[in-house]
Amino acid sequence: MIAFVKGKIDDITEENVVVDTGNFGINVHISTGTAANLPGLGEDIKLYTYTCVREDMFSLYGFLTRDDLEVFKKLITVNGIGPKGGLAILSVMSADTLRFAILSGDAASIAKAPGVGKKTAERVILDLKDKISLEDTDVHRQMMDAQTDLAMDSSSMDSRARNEAVEALTALGYSPADALKAVKSVPPKENMDVEAILKLALKNMF
C-alpha cells in the first residue's frame, strides 16, 4: 500500500492532481476541497493516500492531512459509500463539519454531496456516530492547546479564570486562537475574576 505521494504538481483539475515524483507522474484522485487548497503548478506537495485495488483498476485517493484520510477511511466502511462517494462528501464539507453533522444527526447536510441521497446520509450517521468524537475535531484540539498554554504560563496568576475566559470567548464565536491571544494580552494581576479578564480581553480585541 502507498502511504503517501510526494513530489511536484504537474497538473491539477477539480478531481485529480498529477504529482511528478521524479521518474513517474502519479495521478491521484482528490476532493474539490483539497483541489482548492493545493499550491500552484511546479510546487512541492505531499498527499496522504488511500490505495484502491480492483480487478481492472488501481487508484490512489489523496488528502492534505492524515485527519482527512482517516475520516475518508471511516466513510468508505459505510455500506453504499465507495471511494468516489467518500470524496463527494468531503467535497461539500470538511472533516470537522462532517463530524458535527454526524454527531448532531444532520443528514440533510451530508445528503448535499453529489450521488448521496437521504437514506445513504442517514446510514452514514447510524454507522459512524459511535466511531466519531468531538475530541477528534480541530476546535477541541485548539481548546486543549490553549488551556495547556495558559496553564504553563508562569505569568498567569489565575489560570483557571483565564481558561474560563478563553472558553467564554469561543462560546461567543471567536476562534480559539483569537480568544487565547486576547486573554494572554491581559496583564496578570492578583485575584482577577473571569468577568474582569473578559472585559480587558474584549477591549484588546477592538
Q: Could you read off the pLDDT of 41-78 as tens digits, one per residue?
A: 999 999 999 999 887 889 999 999 999 999 999 999 99
Alpha-carbon distance of 82 to 85, in angstroms, equals 5
- Cell 467535497, residue? 91
The answer to whether the predicted template modeling score (pTM) of the entire model surpasses 0.75 is no
**Regarding predicted confidence, which is higher, 76 or 202?**
76
Can you give the residue ranges of every domain in the chain? 4-63, 67-133, 137-205
**What does the mean pLDDT of the chain come to?**
85
Alpha-carbon distance of 71 to 9, in angstroms, equals 24
Joined together, the cell numbers standing for residue 182 give 486576547
Task: Write down the CATH number for the domain with range 4-63.
Answer: 2.40.50.140
Grade residue 155 by pLDDT with cuts at 50, 70 and 90: very low
Task: Give the CATH class of 67-133.
Answer: mainly alpha
